[in-house]
Amino acid sequence: MAESYSALREKYPVFRYKSYEYTLGESTLDISYKFEIDGLTEFNPKWSVERKSVVGIDENTLERMVFSLGMVELVSYWKATCSPEIRLPTELPDDALCWWKKLYLNGLGEFFYRNGIEYSDDVMTFVCADEKIPCDSTAVYDKNSDNVLVPVGGGKDSVVTLEILKGKKNVCAYAINPKKANYDTVEVAGLSEKFIKASRTIDKNLLDLNARGFLNGHTPFSAIVAFSGIIAAYINGIGNVVLSNESSANESTVENTNVNHQYSKSYEFESDFIRYEKEYLLAGVRYFSFLRPLLEIQIARAFSEFKAYYPVFKSCNLGSKTDIWCCNCAKCLFVYIILSPFIPEDELVGIFGENLLDSDKLTDDFEKLLGIQAEKPFECVGERSEVLMAMNMLIDKRPDNLPYLVEKYRDRITENKADYNACLNYFDKENSLPDEFERILADFLEKTYD
């Protein structure tokens, strides 16, 4: 085992973001980073992003984007020792450094919490080199472009975005290190020829440190999707990166704290990223979540309309490598719960292979999802109130012969009834949707459910 947090910081006081290199060819953008923990090891993570359209780019803009992707990539390596000093290869203004510190502290909230680390704002200090990346370029693309890049995770949310937008905009799909569920989703959507893929390689030295017991844990992956996605859009002449993050992503994972497993999916991060793009990246590519106005339960209802995806979508992290629902984790249980009011039981069992609400082994996860326990599962799951509403809807639909977990907690569930119509017609105005995209979403909801 490695030393404690304090001992590691004392032994390895400096983390270096040494350099970044990139080559833009006709078919790929290849990127290589060099990081180092003084006195311990070096890291050389690599990226390769597909380029399907050869379009004009501004070199300074691309360099700023590549550097910035490195800033979020380094978090995975820095957390091994939490070195108090981070040395950067370029100069950044103070407000940009504050931006990055905010992302690191909030995006690593779960990492600090689960490792029992008490930290403050001085957990890290940035030391910048004198070199600057010029910021005098202008956007290459028209911000009102109809070209749209949709990151596809393989789950239900991006399916809803793809299906609503693909008849209205020129949609391309995007994924990092895609797995079978990504490919299958894109194929069902009819977008296989418009699938832009990125390869991200983790340096084996980090995996070695993890195996040796150095600090490890959750990092803000959706921030990596943001920075890599906007690069993929820029080099392919696409004017919009359209996420599928919902309003529910704003809720903290641990009650009465700022610890949020989904911080980099939150509206707060989305707003911060939009500001960073406008002030520092200057690419002119819009970034926003199409589903931000909606709750998870509304997205589940919308997904139920698209039956062609039932056999192919997967949201289970544990089963992602083998393309299965493991049926033994909180993520599987949550997806089963949130779909249960809208998809008949026999069809749900056909998707998952079993009725997860009949599983005694998922009792602890069920309590966390309901809010009986203070901690939500550290997964991308909806609000506690939505789980209660989904279960109340299920009870109302079939009050007799309920599944084991629903019957066991029936009294707790039914004492927390909500206004179904208010929730199913919810539309959060705190969002970043451009007007034309908000109209597309509102029109879909009106035509489908009114």
- Which residues have CB under 8 Å from 86's CB, separation 6+? 15, 16, 17, 74, 78, 124, 125, 126, 127
Segment-wise mean pLDDT, segments of 10 residues, the chain, 450 residues:
83 98 97 98 99 89 97 98 97 95 92 87 91 68 75 96 96 97 98 98 97 92 96 96 83 64 85 96 95 95 98 91 92 95 96 94 91 76 86 90 90 83 90 96 92
Say what the pLDDT of residue 374 is.
Answer: 76
- Which residues have CB under 8 Å from 71's CB, separation 6+? 17, 88, 100, 227
Say what the pLDDT of residue 172 is.
Answer: 97
Say what the pLDDT of residue 165 is.
Answer: 98
Say what the pLDDT of residue 82 is.
Answer: 96
Nearest to 97 by CA among 153, 2, 17: 17
Say what the pLDDT of residue 136 is.
Answer: 62
CA 197-325-347 angle, 5° bins: 110
Say what the pLDDT of residue 203 is.
Answer: 98
Give the chain's mean pLDDT: 91
Residues paired with residue 128 on neighbouring β-strands, in sequence order: 88
87 phi and psi angles, rounded to 5 deg = -100, 130
50 phi and psi angles, rounded to 5 deg = -65, 150
Domain extents in the chain = 5-289, 314-426
Query: For the segment 75-115, what is each residue's pLDDT rounded down to a tens digit?
Result: 999 999 999 999 999 999 999 999 999 999 999 988 888 89
